[in-house]
Structure 1
Amino acid sequence: MDFLILPDSEDAAALAQVGAQPGGSRDRNERRDPRVVRHASGRPWVVGHWDEDEIVTVSAGDRRIVLLGRARPAPGTLERLLETARSLHDVDSLARRLPGSCHLTASFEGRVRAQGTLSTARQIFHTRVSGVTVAAGDPARLAALAGRGVDEESLALRLLTPGPPWPLSLRTVWSGVAQSAPGHWLELTPGGECRAHRWWSVPEPVAPLSRSAGTVRSALRDAVGARARAGTAVSADLSGGMDSTSLCFLAAATGAELHTHHWQPLDLANDDALWWERSAAALPDARHRSVPADRRPTWFQTPPEHHAAGGGLLEGPLAWHRNHAQMEFVARAAAGAGARTHLMGVGGDELFSPSPTYLWSMVRGHPLTSLPDLNRMRLLNRWWLGPTVRGLLDSRPFAASLRAVADGLTDPLPHPREPSFGWGGVPRMPPWATGDAVATVRRLLGEAADARPGPMHRDRHQHQVIEGALVSGSALRQMNLALDGTGVTLEAPFLDDRVLEAALMVRTEDRVARGRYKPVLTAAMRGVVPAQLLGRRSKGEFSAEAYEGLLRNRRLLLERCDDLELARLGLVDAGALRAGLLGPKPETRDLTPFENTLSCEAWLRGPVRTAPAAALTAHPTGEPR
């Protein structure tokens, strides 16, 4: 799917005739005529490529609403809204209760509302073209339309490991192309201007588990139901972990024809295989596919049809670059089974596996009752007492944490026994980043700190949960654009707005329980997933796959060091990167810096477009009913 959203004006209408080349897979979309949904004025509003089951359109007089994606509104919901709404702000009520995951856009009396999802798995980007603000779901399409090039400073930010902190994570790699902030919708005016409006804020964690378990269950059931229907084929991961297992049982309950996928782990000590066998046995009507370790693509492997399936990875460097070949393998297998949707458990860890920072929140909200949890976690992880106490006492504001990240860009990582209770991770530039790249990133972080941004929630753990969802949602969106040519969409129900909100409302003290893994999800899935499968306390570990991937692909990676695009831009020292690839890596975390660097390099080697593409002529199909 790809599309442009245009304001209701003659200048914008002209852009529909000289718009960008189709996004996603060019080979796939160039064989299809573009579709258009029109404003009440008759001018083009939404122009692009989508399948019939990916769009819902409703109109009433000079008002209309379009949903693009996987959403299943209750019958009559959209019609009643159009009858009663007084302005675009009244669409908030729909956005707050709509199940599934979609782009939502509305046209009311010449004004346009456009928004994606809270996790940005579906996102709205915008730029100005000939004095008109245009929106889209793919920033590269807007860059091509406006003739904009790559923002090399943003590319330097992408070298940060594990990634740039919020709000710099919202910065695109295309000059002059911006994306909406979480919880905001974009208004496009007939005069060509735009403005952002907040419609959602991170909720307070006040709901007890006894009440929130049912809310999470209902939200997840609706999320899966928006994608899986009786009599239709749906593909899903079944790793053996609790997240994917929950989705498979929810999908099976819809009556859909379920096809599951499992990667057999390389490490025999990884008990994912054991739990997969148990889960598969409890789903006898599903068709299960288990791929042996020696028959699957490796990490860091380039997909065999990189350009045809990915269209050049147009949005930017893939966050999941290391798994690109594996994800293409899964998507093509799903397509071969007749499925157009593949469910993933992405988002489950972010919502239901609290980071150590939950202790920082507990100490402030429940200082006495938090002590047993704190002591247990310190002993379990062998944290040193001094750094633990200092971390828990740290109360620096969010802006100051950005300054601290800037100051420590090239410092060694903290020792594993020094826990982090900060606002986010501990980003570092890789050792092969040039001095210019480090200086650029330090300046950008400093400028962000000087702007004194607030966090997404005053509680550090709540902020981290939503930031984690943003990271995963962005990665999912990028991969879907890269795999558009397969005809299969990767879907992550845990990242749906209603599921995310339900999880964020759970009390912090209920998110961890002694002797129980993911207690909130476990409680929510009682009666859905067999009790024996809810008792797992372990989690699969895949460092063996990471080491193997680098080893088996090292020759190609070393060859790239001889002609490194990142070196040509002055961002990476090719010799230092080569030494890093050849050097010892005694700890798994020593592998992490390679991921973003190799992703940026792979993207730069693709057909990155920086100029307007061929004309996009809109045909009057997909009109509102």
Structure 2
Amino acid sequence: MPDNYPWFAVLPDTRAGAAAAHSLEPTADHVVPHHSGRPWIVGRWGADEVTMAHAGPARIALFGHSTVTTADLSRIVGGADIATVEERTHDLPGCFHLVVTLDGQIWARGSASGMRRLFHREVGGATVLADHCGVITSPGASVDERSLVLRLLNPPLTEDLEARCLWRGTHPVPACTAAVLERDGTMRTSQWWRPVEADRSPADGVAGIAEALADAVAARAAHHSTISADLSGGWDSTSLCFLASRTNSRLVTYRWDSTDDGNDDGAYAALARDALPHAEHQVVRSSDLPLWFADLDTLGPVLDEPLRWARVRATTVEHARRIAATGSRVHLNGQGGDELFAGNSMYLHDLFGRRPLAAWQRAKGYRAMLRWPALATLRQLGDRKGYASSLARATESLDAPLIKLSTPNLGWINPSRLPPWVTPDAHDMAAAEIRASATHAAPLALRRGPHTKYQAVRTSGLGMRVLAQLYRSAGVELTSPYLDDVVVSTVLRVDGTEMCDPYRFKPLLADAMRDVVPSEILTRRTKGEFSADAFAGLKRHKATLLELTEDMRLARMGLVDPDGLRSAIIGPHTDSTMFGHIESTLGIETWLRQVQRSAPALAPTDLNRTRKATCP
């Protein structure tokens, strides 16, 4: 990885923890001690990537973006115990890791969205935490094929399944929980974040959403004189650009054209640029970018885990290089906006439980627009299966065709499918893991609407975390303000049953941005579609992709039949439904080839820096 790629590991205040630090210190720039003098945090980071403070023996470190200051952090840990620190930090704006050492205990967490994660592993008799699994995974570790086959599911099923670490012996800390290292070095987890109860109407909630989004953008601008942001023309990225223009940072907007002349994103992006005269605007022609599916036969940047959107790996790196050339080191994108503000049909089921006639009337609009059959819609509205049983039943349709928009789905679980080229053993393995998860599964919220919305946020955060590693390889940090914990909580506080309207597009975001984004942009009712880019890239790079099906690592593991994948790549392709399966398989395959030629992603033995400094 590049020398500027940050990482950190957290060590218990024990002799075993101090011994484990020795394997990490040679490649660390910083070693931060406990009050006892033993190593607490070791790693590599820039001065603008962490805020640290202490109050007596208590110490706190915030890695990431927030508007809180050193003085704020000192007050948070002053005179506090772990429970008090958790309460005081619950609503901090931004996206970050928090690490606290207090009276021999350590409390550490990432973000509820999964954008920032923690992993743990036994290293030399000590439980060590790290923000990247490869930091604490030895070069000789083996890949867990059970977790790997779950990555072939499309769409991903649940966070419990898709968030597993792919290295045996290294385990994730669940997204909404903190890791607590006790005085003796043992670890437990503590849930610090739960979806809030929906206690606000849309009218009452929009002001809070506007404030939360403004604070999220301000958290990125707080330590950077220049920031950049995507300006696709869609509501999500456009809103962030206008919010960023209100900060004191220099703003650079970035847009790339689609190969599809029918995509009208460009027209709305042009309207936004005209309304942002003080920003600098970069517009890249599609002909100046690698086509989708380019360069998958070459080794790319080392990633913690497979990239879900493998089709855009080369394109993404080129975007990041161009953005870095503008002088920006922090880039904002609109990921998470769809997950939070679209898909409100899922609340029909919740509304049906309260007001069945009103729900049926609302459902008529979706039926008319999406051609939902009446009987299938009524069955979905009346379904009362629990979450665990729904998850277990998902194993019955893993090999079914992907569902279409004309098929209503108001259930707990995304109708997830395995690609048709998985082997029977891989199918059975995935089904067994899903059934095992169902024995202890619990929904993320009490009702289906907020559960599915938060699940979509987690899936988005987990994917964006890996995409951000691609940006980091070019020297730019990719951030997604919509995935900030406070933003997510603020949106989930709004009663979604009042937004089941197929004729209003993202009503909460539209109302929240009413005084920020020009009205001619907020009247847009279309959404850009990029299947033309996928078709063009697949056609151009078909020969290369077929070469990847030769001597497949996934085939060696007995998980994939290469002939089936080859048939899918060759086509014919009458629609884009199979692209997700193709790219998830190729993403895993290219990742396996990468890790076979190198140590695990970000493994300390791969880091070349030896300079160390001790932080106060």
TM range (shorter): over 0.9
Structure 2, gaps ≥5 residues long: 1-5
Q: Which residue of 2 aligns with 1:475?
A: 463
After superposition, where does 1:180-329 map in structure 2 within 5 Å? 180-229=173-222, 232-302=225-295, 306-307=299-300, 310=301, 312-313=302-303, 315-329=304-318
Q: Which residue of 2 aligns with 1:487?
A: 475
Deviates more, 1:561-570 or 1:162-171: 162-171
| CA–CA distance in structure 1, aligned partners of residues 486 and 528 of structure 2 | 27
Q: Which residue of 2 aligns with 1:93?
A: 87
Q: Which residue of 2 aligns with 1:169?
A: 162
| CA–CA distance in structure 2, aligned partners of residues 38 and 598 of structure 1 | 43
After superposition, where does 1:8-23 map in structure 2 within 5 Å? 8-19=13-24
User: Any conservation in 2 of the 1:103–1:115 contact (CA below 8 Å)?
Assistant: yes
| CA–CA distance in structure 2, aligned partners of residues 613 and 180 of structure 1 | 20
Q: Residue 422 of structure 1 aligns to a residue in which SS?
A: coil
Deviation of residue 299 (structure 1)?
A: 1.7
| CA–CA distance in structure 2, aligned partners of residues 292 and 615 of structure 1 | 36
Q: Which residue of 2 aligns with 1:445?
A: 434
Q: Which residue of 2 aligns with 1:155?
A: 148
User: Any conservation in 2 of the 1:259–1:289 contact (CA below 8 Å)?
Assistant: yes
| CA–CA distance in structure 1, aligned partners of residues 410 and 253 of structure 2 | 37
Q: Which residue of 2 aligns with 1:348?
A: 337
Q: Which residue of 2 aligns with 1:142?
A: 136
* Shift in CA distance, 425/231, structure 1 to aligned 2, threshold 3 Å: closer
Identity of aligned residues (%): 36
Q: Which residue of 2 aligns with 1:364?
A: 353
Deviation of residue 512 (structure 1)?
A: 4.3
Query: Does residue 613 of structure 2 align to residue 621 of structure 1?
Result: yes
User: Any conservation in 2 of the 1:115–1:124 contact (CA below 8 Å)?
Assistant: yes
Q: Residue 356 of structure 2 aligns to a residue in which SS?
A: coil
Deviation of residue 21 (structure 1)?
A: 8.4
Deviation of residue 494 (structure 1)?
A: 0.3
Deviation of residue 229 (structure 1)?
A: 4.6
Q: Which residue of 2 aligns with 1:385?
A: 374
| CA–CA distance in structure 1, aligned partners of residues 56 and 223 of structure 2 | 35
Deviation of residue 19 (structure 1)?
A: 2.5
Query: Does residue 96 of structure 2 align to residue 102 of structure 1?
Result: yes
User: Any conservation in 2 of the 1:5–1:45 contact (CA below 8 Å)?
Assistant: yes
| CA–CA distance in structure 1, aligned partners of residues 317 and 26 of structure 2 | 23
Q: Residue 421 of structure 1 aligns to a residue in which SS?
A: coil
Q: Which residue of 2 aligns with 1:565?
A: 553
Deviation of residue 288 (structure 1)?
A: 1.1
Q: Name the aligned partner's letter for residue 7 of structure 2.
A: D
Q: Residue 607 of structure 1 aligns to a residue in which SS?
A: helix
Q: Which residue of 2 aligns with 1:114?
A: 108
Q: Name the aligned partner's letter for residue 39 of structure 1.
A: H
Deviation of residue 82 (structure 1)?
A: 2.1
Deviation of residue 427 (structure 1)?
A: 0.9
User: Any conservation in 2 of the 1:143–1:149 contact (CA below 8 Å)?
Assistant: no
Deviates more, 1:243-252 or 1:422-431: 422-431
Q: Name the aligned partner's letter for residue 399 of structure 2.
A: T
| CA–CA distance in structure 2, aligned partners of residues 610 and 164 of structure 1 | 29
User: Any conservation in 1 of the 2:316–2:470 contact (CA below 8 Å)?
Assistant: no
| CA–CA distance in structure 1, aligned partners of residues 351 and 528 of structure 2 | 28
Query: Does residue 490 of structure 2 align to residue 502 of structure 1?
Result: yes
Deviation of residue 576 (structure 1)?
A: 1.3
User: Any conservation in 1 of the 2:53–2:71 contact (CA below 8 Å)?
Assistant: no
Q: Which residue of 2 aligns with 1:73?
A: 68
Q: Which residue of 2 aligns with 1:549?
A: 537
Aligned residues: 607
Deviates more, 1:346-355 or 1:416-425: 416-425
Deviation of residue 131 (structure 1)?
A: 2.1
| CA–CA distance in structure 1, aligned partners of residues 331 and 106 of structure 2 | 32
Q: Residue 31 of structure 2 aligns to a residue in which SS?
A: strand
Q: Residue 430 of structure 1 aligns to a residue in which SS?
A: coil
Q: Which residue of 2 aligns with 1:2?
A: 7
Q: Which residue of 2 aligns with 1:64?
A: 59
Per-residue Cα deviation, 1:445-469 (whole angstroms, up to 9, x for no partner): 11112x2311111211111111111
| CA–CA distance in structure 2, aligned partners of residues 224 and 231 of structure 1 | 11
Q: What's the TM-score once normalised by structure 1's chain length?
A: 0.93
User: Any conservation in 2 of the 1:480–1:490 contact (CA below 8 Å)?
Assistant: yes
Deviation of residue 186 (structure 1)?
A: 0.4
| CA–CA distance in structure 2, aligned partners of residues 148 and 256 of structure 1 | 44
User: Any conservation in 1 of the 2:76–2:89 contact (CA below 8 Å)?
Assistant: no
| CA–CA distance in structure 2, aligned partners of residues 230 and 480 of structure 1 | 19
User: Any conservation in 1 of the 2:308–2:463 contact (CA below 8 Å)?
Assistant: yes
Q: Which residue of 1 aligns with 2:37?
A: 42
Q: Which residue of 2 aligns with 1:432?
A: 421
Q: Name the aligned partner's letter for residue 242 of structure 1.
A: W
Deviation of residue 67 (structure 1)?
A: 0.3
Q: Which residue of 2 aligns with 1:30?
A: none
Deviation of residue 130 (structure 1)?
A: 2.3
Q: Residue 245 of structure 2 aligns to a residue in which SS?
A: helix
User: Any conservation in 2 of the 1:131–1:192 contact (CA below 8 Å)?
Assistant: no
Residue 592 of structure 1, aligned match among 580, 585, 595: 580
Per-residue Cα deviation, 1:174-221 (whole angstroms, up to 9, x for no partner): 112111223211001232210001122111222112221111111111
User: Any conservation in 2 of the 1:21–1:614 contact (CA below 8 Å)?
Assistant: no
* Shift in CA distance, 305/434, structure 1 to aligned 2, threshold 3 Å: closer
Deviation of residue 416 (structure 1)?
A: 4.1
Q: Residue 399 of structure 1 aligns to a residue in which SS?
A: helix
* Shift in CA distance, 169/355, structure 1 to aligned 2, threshold 3 Å: farther
User: Any conservation in 1 of the 2:117–2:175 contact (CA below 8 Å)?
Assistant: no
| CA–CA distance in structure 2, aligned partners of residues 559 and 514 of structure 1 | 44
Deviation of residue 89 (structure 1)?
A: 1.4
Q: Residue 185 of structure 2 aligns to a residue in which SS?
A: coil
Q: Name the aligned partner's letter for residue 55 of structure 1.
A: V
**Root-mean-square deviation over aligned CA pairs:** 2.1
After superposition, where does 1:321-340 map in structure 2 within 5 Å? 321-340=310-329
Deviates more, 1:597-606 or 1:355-364: 355-364
User: Any conservation in 2 of the 1:113–1:187 contact (CA below 8 Å)?
Assistant: yes
| CA–CA distance in structure 2, aligned partners of residues 264 and 366 of structure 1 | 45
Per-residue Cα deviation, 1:145-184 (whole angstroms, up to 9, x for no partner): 7x53211111111111122323212211111211122321
| CA–CA distance in structure 2, aligned partners of residues 148 and 62 of structure 1 | 37
Structure 1, gaps ≥5 residues long: 23-32
Q: Which residue of 2 aligns with 1:421?
A: 410
| CA–CA distance in structure 1, aligned partners of residues 125 and 20 of structure 2 | 11
* Shift in CA distance, 274/590, structure 1 to aligned 2, threshold 3 Å: same
Q: Which residue of 1 aligns with 2:3?
A: none
| CA–CA distance in structure 2, aligned partners of residues 480 and 500 of structure 1 | 19
| CA–CA distance in structure 2, aligned partners of residues 622 and 55 of structure 1 | 14
Q: What's the TM-score once normalised by structure 2's chain length?
A: 0.94
Per-residue Cα deviation, 1:516-538 (whole angstroms, up to 9, x for no partner): 32111111112111222211111
Deviates more, 1:404-413 or 1:47-56: 404-413
Q: Which residue of 2 aligns with 1:459?
A: 447
